[in-house]
């Protein structure tokens, strides 16, 4: 009797979770994905009061986290096709930083996003070469961030934050880990802080 009741409850839960095509079925609205952050005077003042760029990111995250893209799409929405997910670009555009710093952060966001456009399920020579090309762009990102004057701790922390924003769903994280496995045993060379590495 007890097992029958448990089975019935389990079936009710499963059936209750299925999507319904009935007109009266409750619709769960997905939060709209942010593509622009309105920079009110209050927000600008708060951003300017932050000691680091990463602290500005953290402040924006506290205010706008519910509007980040958590769709089933691995790449998310990139309406202007610049290689940066629109919600992450909105965060970067909202920062109170110089234009060269903003461009360096966008370069990093583009590099982080690139790994999500490929299938890394097979460790083939082609995939390894493709992963190395993407990884080598990260060296240029670091050199550019140095060149535009981002302090070392902020270079590291903003990089981690951009990664966290980029790989913010389970599927995106799994794909990122598969990409990283393609790089096992690879080495990178540190580049000088020069303008030529900035996009």
Reported pTM = 0.82
pLDDT of residue 3: 45
pLDDT tens profile 119-159: 999 999 999 999 999 999 999 999 999 999 999 999 999 99
pLDDT of residue 77: 95
Q: Assign 35 a pLDDT band (cuts: 50, 70, 90).
A: confident
pLDDT of residue 30: 52
Whether 176 shows a pLDDT value over 70: the answer reads yes
Domain limits, the chain: 31-197
pLDDT of residue 22: 42
Q: Is 194 left (phi over 0), alpha (psi -120 to 50) or beta?
A: beta
User: Which of 188, 198, 110 has the alpha carbon at shortest distance from 150?
Assistant: 198
pLDDT of residue 31: 55
**b/e burial code for range 152-182 (CB count within 10 A of at least 16 → b):** eebbebbbebbeebbbbbeebeebbebbeeb
What CA–CA distance (Å, rounded) separates 160 from 150?
A: 14
Q: Assign 76 a pLDDT band (cuts: 50, 70, 90).
A: very high
What CA–CA distance (Å, rounded) separates 128 from 182?
A: 5
- Please count the helices (runs of H) and the strands (runs of E) in the chain: 8, 0
| Cα 165–chain centre separation | 3
Whether 27 shows a pLDDT value over 60: the answer reads no
pLDDT of residue 185: 83
């Amino acid at each position: 009797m007890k097992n029958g009741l448990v089975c019935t409850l389990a079936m009710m839960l499963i059936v209750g979770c299925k999507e319904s095509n009935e007109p009266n079925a409750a619709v769960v609205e997905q939060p709209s994905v942010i593509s622009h952050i309105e920079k009110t005077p209050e927000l600008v003042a708060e951003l300017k009061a932050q000691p680091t760029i990463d602290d500005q990111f953290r402040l924006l995250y506290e205010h706008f986290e519910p509007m980040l893209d958590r769709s089933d799409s691995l790449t998310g929405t990139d309406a202007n096709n610049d290689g940066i997910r629109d919600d992450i670009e909105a965060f970067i555009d909202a920062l109170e930083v110089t234009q060269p710093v903003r461009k360096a952060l966008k370069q990093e966001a583009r590099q982080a996003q690139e790994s999500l456009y490929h299938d890394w399920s097979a460790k083939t020579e082609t995939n390894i070469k493709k992963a190395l090309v993407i990884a080598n762009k990260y060296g240029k990102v670091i050199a550019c961030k140095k060149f535009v004057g981002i302090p070392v701790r902020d270079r590291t922390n903003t990089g981690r934050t951009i990664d966290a924003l980029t790989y913010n769903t389970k599927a995106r994280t799994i794909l990122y880990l598969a990409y990283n496995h393609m790089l096992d045993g690879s080495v990178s060379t540190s580049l000088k802080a020069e303008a030529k590495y900035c996009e």
